[in-house]
Amino acid sequence: MYDMYLVLLVCIATVILSMILTAVYKRVAMKFNWVDVPDARRVHNKIMPTMGGIAIFIAFYFALFILLPIPTSLILPIFLGSLIVLLTGCIDDLKNLTPLLKVIGILLGALVVYYFGGISLETMTLPLFGTLEFGSWSLPFTLLWILGFTNAVNLIDGLDGLASGVSIIALTTMGIIGFFFLTIQEVSISIMIFVLVAAIAGFLPYNFHPASLFLGDTGALFIGFMIGIFSLQGLKNATLISLVLPVVILGIPVTDTLFAMIRRKMNRQSISVADKNHIHHRLMSLGLSHRQTVLAIYSVSAIFSIIALLYNFSTFWGSILLTISVFVGVELFVEIIGLVGADRRPLLKSIREFGYKLNKKKPDDK
């Protein structure tokens, strides 16, 4: 069992270390011209140092390897897998990798944690159907899970502090659930999650609007990858609800990713084609400022996290009702901000038609 005072001190030390490393790295990035140049897709309009995820990576693993008594056998596969993803992000920030090469880098990292870390989806228990064995499908399901979460976080990294702040909210929720509701083995993972939160928190003051340093794909891919593998730690033998929880916790990036794919498919575009119709773009088009947009998305992320916590106290049917409510709420949110398109609002249209029928005047009685 871990000394909680030690864990708290390590988290505080990690925040301070991350802040120091970030300040030092910012100078290094400018010296070596590791910068992000604005273009038509960018919201910022000046050259900014990038790849700030390197400082988060170093602070995080320094705490795990040096400051905490976590077995090296548990950390090492995760370290090696995430290092591959971090390097993939670095190369992309410097050389602009094709989407395929980025996917290959993420999958290589996922293969390392699958084969050497034992992180995988193996079975799933469904009500009425019993336990399903993934068998040979365990590997592709695990790889798709990690790839999906990694890309989801990377996709929302479009405004100052957005990806880092949303990730802090999501990871904190995952850590709380793992610490209070899962087994001793998951407690170790929860502590690692809280240390990652501390490392990101030390970076956030430099990244929040107006930012002086960007995460870059380096940081967004690394954080997304870590969220993907941490969410899998409690899912080796998954239930329907345990499978839903990480998706709800990451509600904003998952929604943005899913509806970006739907939008591009409906517009007959490749799903890898970038556009300026993500959630943050749509909110800003409605008149919100840069900072207001980020804070609004933080608030929605916090709502998703509260819902995820409620699952742990709900009955099975209560969880079903929660899930239905989440689907309806997400659809309304998506249609209100026009995430798929201004003319594609089937639920709002149905509500308006229903309201019109209710308010339709009855003929006068004679």
Question: Binding site for Mg(2+): residue ranges?
Answer: 154, 217
Q: Write the CB contacts of 286 (distance below 8 Å, at least 6 apart in sequence).
A: 337
Report the half-sphere exposure of 335 (CA within 13 A, side-chain side). 16
Annotated binding site: 154, 217
Where are any strands of DSSP class E within 44-178? 48-49, 123-126, 130-133
Say whether 50 sits in a helix, a strand or coil: coil
d(Cα 335, Cα 228) in Å, to the nearest integer?
28
| Cα torsion angle, 190, 174, 151, 121, sign | positive
Angle, helices 53-62 vs 4-31, to 10°: value is 150
* Six-digit token string for 319: 């969880």
Which residue from 59, 46, 31 is spatially nearest to 160, judged by alpha carbons? 46
Q: Between vectors from CA 130 to CA 124 and to CA 135, what angle results, nearest 5°?
A: 45
